[in-house]
Amino acid sequence: MKKTNLILLVATLLSVAGIAAQAQDPNFHVYLCLGQSNMEGNAKIEAQDTVGVNPRFQVLEAVDCPDLSRTKGNWYTAIPPLCRCRTGLTPADYFGRTLLTYLPPTTRVGVIDVAVGGCRIELFDKDQYQTYVATVPGWMKNFISEYGGNPYARLVEMGKRAQQDGVIKGILLHQGESNPNDSLWTKKVKKVYDNLLADLNLPPNSVPLLAGETVNADQDGICAGMNRIIATLPQAVPTAHVISSAGCTDSSDNLHFNAAGYRKLGKRYAYQMLTLLGYTVKAED
Protein backbone atom coordinates (compact mmCIF):
# COMPACT_ATOMS: atom_id res chain seq x y z
CA MET A 1 0.00 0.00 0.00
CA LYS A 2 1.34 3.41 -0.98
CA LYS A 3 2.16 5.82 1.82
CA THR A 4 -0.42 8.30 0.54
CA ASN A 5 -3.18 5.68 0.56
CA LEU A 6 -2.17 4.55 4.04
CA ILE A 7 -2.40 8.12 5.33
CA LEU A 8 -5.85 8.50 3.75
CA LEU A 9 -7.00 5.22 5.32
CA VAL A 10 -5.80 6.23 8.76
CA ALA A 11 -7.41 9.65 8.41
CA THR A 12 -10.71 8.04 7.41
CA LEU A 13 -10.65 5.64 10.33
CA LEU A 14 -9.89 8.45 12.75
CA SER A 15 -12.73 10.49 11.29
CA VAL A 16 -15.19 7.62 11.68
CA ALA A 17 -14.02 7.04 15.24
CA GLY A 18 -14.49 10.72 15.97
CA ILE A 19 -18.05 10.65 14.66
CA ALA A 20 -18.84 7.58 16.78
CA ALA A 21 -17.39 9.19 19.86
CA GLN A 22 -19.45 12.31 19.30
CA ALA A 23 -22.59 10.22 18.79
CA GLN A 24 -22.30 8.61 22.23
CA ASP A 25 -23.58 11.09 24.79
CA PRO A 26 -22.21 10.50 28.31
CA ASN A 27 -25.18 12.43 29.63
CA PHE A 28 -27.61 9.90 28.16
CA HIS A 29 -28.03 7.34 30.95
CA VAL A 30 -29.38 3.98 29.78
CA TYR A 31 -30.89 1.25 31.96
CA LEU A 32 -31.61 -2.34 31.01
CA CYS A 33 -34.84 -3.74 32.51
CA LEU A 34 -35.63 -7.45 32.57
CA GLY A 35 -37.75 -10.01 34.35
CA GLN A 36 -41.23 -11.45 34.27
CA SER A 37 -44.73 -10.01 34.51
CA ASN A 38 -44.09 -7.34 37.14
CA MET A 39 -41.35 -5.88 34.94
CA GLU A 40 -43.42 -6.50 31.83
CA GLY A 41 -46.20 -4.42 33.39
CA ASN A 42 -49.44 -5.97 34.56
CA ALA A 43 -51.45 -3.00 35.82
CA LYS A 44 -53.77 -1.02 33.60
CA ILE A 45 -52.20 2.22 32.40
CA GLU A 46 -54.16 5.15 33.83
CA ALA A 47 -54.63 8.63 32.41
CA GLN A 48 -52.09 10.18 34.78
CA ASP A 49 -49.43 7.81 33.44
CA THR A 50 -49.68 9.06 29.87
CA VAL A 51 -49.43 12.81 30.38
CA GLY A 52 -46.55 15.08 31.25
CA VAL A 53 -43.85 12.59 30.33
CA ASN A 54 -40.60 14.52 29.94
CA PRO A 55 -39.15 13.95 26.44
CA ARG A 56 -35.77 13.53 28.15
CA PHE A 57 -37.14 10.19 29.36
CA GLN A 58 -37.03 7.76 26.45
CA VAL A 59 -37.64 4.11 25.70
CA LEU A 60 -35.75 2.07 23.13
CA GLU A 61 -38.43 -0.06 21.50
CA ALA A 62 -37.40 -3.74 21.61
CA VAL A 63 -40.17 -4.98 19.29
CA ASP A 64 -42.11 -3.56 16.37
CA CYS A 65 -45.35 -1.87 17.51
CA PRO A 66 -47.13 -0.53 14.43
CA ASP A 67 -50.26 0.38 16.41
CA LEU A 68 -48.07 2.67 18.54
CA SER A 69 -46.14 3.92 15.48
CA ARG A 70 -42.95 2.50 17.01
CA THR A 71 -40.24 0.49 15.32
CA LYS A 72 -37.73 -1.82 16.97
CA GLY A 73 -34.39 -0.17 17.64
CA ASN A 74 -35.65 3.43 17.76
CA TRP A 75 -35.98 5.81 20.70
CA TYR A 76 -39.34 7.32 21.69
CA THR A 77 -40.64 9.46 24.54
CA ALA A 78 -41.32 6.96 27.34
CA ILE A 79 -45.11 7.03 27.31
CA PRO A 80 -46.34 3.59 28.42
CA PRO A 81 -46.37 0.81 27.48
CA LEU A 82 -42.59 0.53 27.80
CA CYS A 83 -42.32 -3.23 27.32
CA ARG A 84 -44.13 -4.89 24.43
CA CYS A 85 -46.98 -3.31 22.51
CA ARG A 86 -49.89 -4.30 24.77
CA THR A 87 -48.30 -4.48 28.19
CA GLY A 88 -49.12 -2.29 31.18
CA LEU A 89 -47.51 0.01 33.70
CA THR A 90 -44.10 -1.07 34.98
CA PRO A 91 -41.61 0.01 37.67
CA ALA A 92 -39.50 1.42 34.82
CA ASP A 93 -42.09 4.15 34.17
CA TYR A 94 -41.70 5.97 37.45
CA PHE A 95 -38.07 4.99 37.78
CA GLY A 96 -37.20 7.18 34.81
CA ARG A 97 -39.57 9.99 35.71
CA THR A 98 -38.20 10.19 39.24
CA LEU A 99 -34.59 10.21 38.09
CA LEU A 100 -35.26 13.28 35.98
CA THR A 101 -36.57 15.23 38.95
CA TYR A 102 -33.05 15.12 40.39
CA LEU A 103 -30.69 14.82 37.43
CA PRO A 104 -29.36 17.93 35.66
CA PRO A 105 -31.42 19.29 32.74
CA THR A 106 -28.65 18.23 30.36
CA THR A 107 -29.11 14.56 31.30
CA ARG A 108 -31.43 12.18 29.52
CA VAL A 109 -32.63 8.77 30.72
CA GLY A 110 -33.36 5.81 28.49
CA VAL A 111 -34.79 2.40 29.33
CA ILE A 112 -34.91 -0.90 27.49
CA ASP A 113 -37.57 -3.26 28.87
CA VAL A 114 -37.39 -6.92 27.85
CA ALA A 115 -39.62 -9.08 30.04
CA VAL A 116 -41.90 -12.10 29.71
CA GLY A 117 -44.77 -12.81 32.07
CA GLY A 118 -44.53 -16.09 33.93
CA CYS A 119 -40.95 -16.86 32.96
CA ARG A 120 -38.27 -18.36 35.15
CA ILE A 121 -34.86 -16.70 35.30
CA GLU A 122 -33.66 -19.55 33.08
CA LEU A 123 -35.20 -17.75 30.11
CA PHE A 124 -32.34 -15.24 30.30
CA ASP A 125 -29.62 -17.89 30.54
CA LYS A 126 -28.11 -17.74 27.08
CA ASP A 127 -26.74 -21.28 27.38
CA GLN A 128 -29.89 -22.97 28.70
CA TYR A 129 -32.84 -20.93 27.43
CA GLN A 130 -33.71 -23.27 24.56
CA THR A 131 -34.12 -26.21 26.92
CA TYR A 132 -36.35 -24.09 29.13
CA VAL A 133 -38.44 -22.64 26.28
CA ALA A 134 -39.26 -26.15 25.11
CA THR A 135 -41.14 -26.69 28.38
CA VAL A 136 -43.23 -23.51 28.56
CA PRO A 137 -46.91 -23.17 27.56
CA GLY A 138 -47.94 -21.87 24.16
CA TRP A 139 -49.06 -18.44 25.39
CA MET A 140 -45.59 -17.80 26.81
CA LYS A 141 -43.94 -19.00 23.62
CA ASN A 142 -45.99 -16.36 21.80
CA PHE A 143 -44.53 -13.64 24.03
CA ILE A 144 -41.04 -15.05 23.59
CA SER A 145 -41.46 -15.13 19.82
CA GLU A 146 -41.95 -11.36 19.83
CA TYR A 147 -38.28 -11.17 20.85
CA GLY A 148 -37.19 -13.40 18.00
CA GLY A 149 -37.39 -16.45 20.25
CA ASN A 150 -34.54 -15.27 22.48
CA PRO A 151 -35.27 -12.41 24.90
CA TYR A 152 -31.71 -12.37 26.26
CA ALA A 153 -30.25 -11.94 22.77
CA ARG A 154 -32.77 -9.17 22.05
CA LEU A 155 -31.76 -7.38 25.26
CA VAL A 156 -28.10 -7.56 24.26
CA GLU A 157 -28.93 -6.42 20.73
CA MET A 158 -30.82 -3.41 22.04
CA GLY A 159 -28.13 -2.75 24.64
CA LYS A 160 -25.49 -2.52 21.92
CA ARG A 161 -27.79 -0.28 19.93
CA ALA A 162 -28.22 1.97 22.97
CA GLN A 163 -24.47 2.16 23.49
CA GLN A 164 -24.22 3.99 20.18
CA ASP A 165 -26.17 6.83 21.78
CA GLY A 166 -25.51 6.70 25.52
CA VAL A 167 -23.93 4.90 28.44
CA ILE A 168 -25.39 1.94 30.31
CA LYS A 169 -25.61 2.99 33.95
CA GLY A 170 -27.51 0.13 35.55
CA ILE A 171 -29.70 -2.96 35.29
CA LEU A 172 -33.19 -3.28 36.78
CA LEU A 173 -34.47 -6.77 37.57
CA HIS A 174 -37.89 -7.89 38.75
CA GLN A 175 -38.18 -11.65 38.70
CA GLY A 176 -38.59 -14.50 41.15
CA GLU A 177 -42.27 -15.34 41.32
CA SER A 178 -41.68 -18.29 38.98
CA ASN A 179 -38.57 -19.45 40.89
CA PRO A 180 -40.13 -19.88 44.36
CA ASN A 181 -37.86 -21.43 46.98
CA ASP A 182 -35.10 -21.78 44.37
CA SER A 183 -31.91 -21.80 46.43
CA LEU A 184 -29.86 -21.45 43.24
CA TRP A 185 -31.69 -18.32 42.08
CA THR A 186 -28.94 -15.91 43.13
CA LYS A 187 -26.33 -17.93 41.24
CA LYS A 188 -28.56 -17.99 38.16
CA VAL A 189 -29.04 -14.22 38.37
CA LYS A 190 -25.30 -13.73 38.75
CA LYS A 191 -24.71 -15.70 35.55
CA VAL A 192 -27.20 -13.55 33.64
CA TYR A 193 -25.64 -10.37 35.07
CA ASP A 194 -22.08 -11.47 34.27
CA ASN A 195 -23.07 -12.52 30.75
CA LEU A 196 -24.80 -9.20 30.07
CA LEU A 197 -21.75 -7.20 31.08
CA ALA A 198 -19.41 -9.41 29.05
CA ASP A 199 -21.62 -9.34 25.95
CA LEU A 200 -21.91 -5.55 26.17
CA ASN A 201 -18.14 -5.14 26.67
CA LEU A 202 -18.59 -3.72 30.15
CA PRO A 203 -16.08 -4.47 32.92
CA PRO A 204 -17.14 -7.06 35.52
CA ASN A 205 -19.23 -5.62 38.37
CA SER A 206 -19.16 -2.20 36.71
CA VAL A 207 -22.86 -1.31 36.87
CA PRO A 208 -25.41 -1.64 39.68
CA LEU A 209 -28.00 -4.40 39.62
CA LEU A 210 -31.24 -3.25 41.26
CA ALA A 211 -33.54 -6.15 42.14
CA GLY A 212 -37.09 -5.56 43.33
CA GLU A 213 -38.89 -7.71 45.87
CA THR A 214 -42.02 -9.62 44.95
CA VAL A 215 -45.36 -8.45 46.38
CA ASN A 216 -44.71 -8.12 50.10
CA ALA A 217 -46.17 -10.16 52.94
CA ASP A 218 -47.87 -6.99 54.17
CA GLN A 219 -50.04 -7.21 51.05
CA ASP A 220 -50.56 -10.97 51.45
CA GLY A 221 -48.22 -11.59 48.52
CA ILE A 222 -48.44 -15.24 47.51
CA CYS A 223 -44.75 -15.25 46.54
CA ALA A 224 -43.55 -13.14 49.46
CA GLY A 225 -41.42 -16.02 50.71
CA MET A 226 -39.15 -15.49 47.69
CA ASN A 227 -38.06 -12.18 49.21
CA ARG A 228 -35.89 -14.07 51.69
CA ILE A 229 -33.87 -15.39 48.77
CA ILE A 230 -33.85 -12.08 46.92
CA ALA A 231 -32.42 -10.48 50.08
CA THR A 232 -29.28 -12.60 49.69
CA LEU A 233 -28.55 -11.46 46.13
CA PRO A 234 -25.85 -8.93 47.21
CA GLN A 235 -23.88 -11.87 48.59
CA ALA A 236 -23.64 -13.31 45.07
CA VAL A 237 -23.47 -10.04 43.11
CA PRO A 238 -21.46 -7.35 44.93
CA THR A 239 -23.12 -4.55 42.95
CA ALA A 240 -26.67 -5.75 43.71
CA HIS A 241 -29.15 -3.72 45.73
CA VAL A 242 -32.56 -5.01 46.83
CA ILE A 243 -35.57 -2.71 46.40
CA SER A 244 -38.19 -3.14 49.11
CA SER A 245 -41.80 -3.74 48.11
CA ALA A 246 -43.16 -3.09 51.61
CA GLY A 247 -46.30 -1.00 51.37
CA CYS A 248 -46.52 -1.28 47.57
CA THR A 249 -50.15 -2.11 46.94
CA ASP A 250 -51.12 -5.03 44.74
CA SER A 251 -53.98 -6.39 42.68
CA SER A 252 -56.54 -8.94 43.77
CA ASP A 253 -54.35 -11.86 42.69
CA ASN A 254 -51.73 -10.94 45.35
CA LEU A 255 -49.11 -11.62 42.69
CA HIS A 256 -48.97 -8.40 40.69
CA PHE A 257 -48.72 -4.82 41.88
CA ASN A 258 -51.48 -2.43 40.98
CA ALA A 259 -50.77 0.90 39.28
CA ALA A 260 -50.14 2.72 42.56
CA GLY A 261 -47.84 -0.07 43.66
CA TYR A 262 -45.82 0.16 40.45
CA ARG A 263 -45.47 3.91 40.86
CA LYS A 264 -44.17 3.55 44.41
CA LEU A 265 -41.84 0.66 43.53
CA GLY A 266 -40.47 2.50 40.50
CA LYS A 267 -39.68 5.52 42.63
CA ARG A 268 -37.81 3.31 45.07
CA TYR A 269 -35.67 1.91 42.25
CA ALA A 270 -34.90 5.53 41.34
CA TYR A 271 -34.08 6.61 44.91
CA GLN A 272 -31.57 3.77 45.17
CA MET A 273 -29.98 4.65 41.84
CA LEU A 274 -29.80 8.33 42.70
CA THR A 275 -28.06 7.48 45.96
CA LEU A 276 -25.51 5.44 44.04
CA LEU A 277 -24.99 8.40 41.70
CA GLY A 278 -24.19 10.58 44.71
CA TYR A 279 -27.47 12.43 45.14
CA THR A 280 -29.13 13.08 48.46
CA VAL A 281 -32.78 12.16 48.06
CA LYS A 282 -35.77 12.38 50.32
CA ALA A 283 -37.99 9.40 49.75
CA GLU A 284 -41.70 10.07 49.66
CA ASP A 285 -42.54 7.03 51.77
127, 194, 218, 253: the catalytic one is: 253
Q: Is 15 a catalytic residue?
A: no
| DSSP per-residue letters across 167-197 | EEEEEEEE--TTSTT-TTHHHHHHHHHHHHH
29, 125, 250, 256: the catalytic one is: 256
> How far apart, in whole angstroms, are the C-alpha atoms of residue 99 and residue 97?
6
29, 37, 125, 250: the catalytic one is: 37
Q: Which 8-state DSSP code applies to residue 162?
A: H
User: Which residues fall within 8 angstroms of residue 246, CB to CB, at 6 or more apart?
Assistant: 213, 216, 218
User: Which residues fall within 8 angstroms of residue 103, CB to CB, at 6 or more apart?
Assistant: 29, 109
Contact between 53 and 79 under an 8 Å Cβ cutoff? The reply is yes
What 3-state DSSP class applies to 73? coil
Maximum alpha-carbon separation in the chain: 75
> How far apart, in whole angstroms, are the C-alpha atoms of residue 49 and residue 182?
35
Q: Is 183 a catalytic residue?
A: no
What is the amino acid identity at position 14?
Answer: L
Angle between helices 185-199 and 151-163 (to 10 degrees): 40
Q: Is 256 a catalytic residue?
A: yes
* CB < 8 Å & 24+ apart, contacts of 182-191: 182/229, 183/229, 185/121, 185/226, 185/229, 185/230, 186/229, 186/232, 186/233, 186/235, 186/236, 186/237, 187/236, 188/121, 188/122, 188/125, 189/121, 189/233, 189/236, 189/237, 190/236, 190/237, 191/125
Active centre residues (catalytic): 37, 253, 256
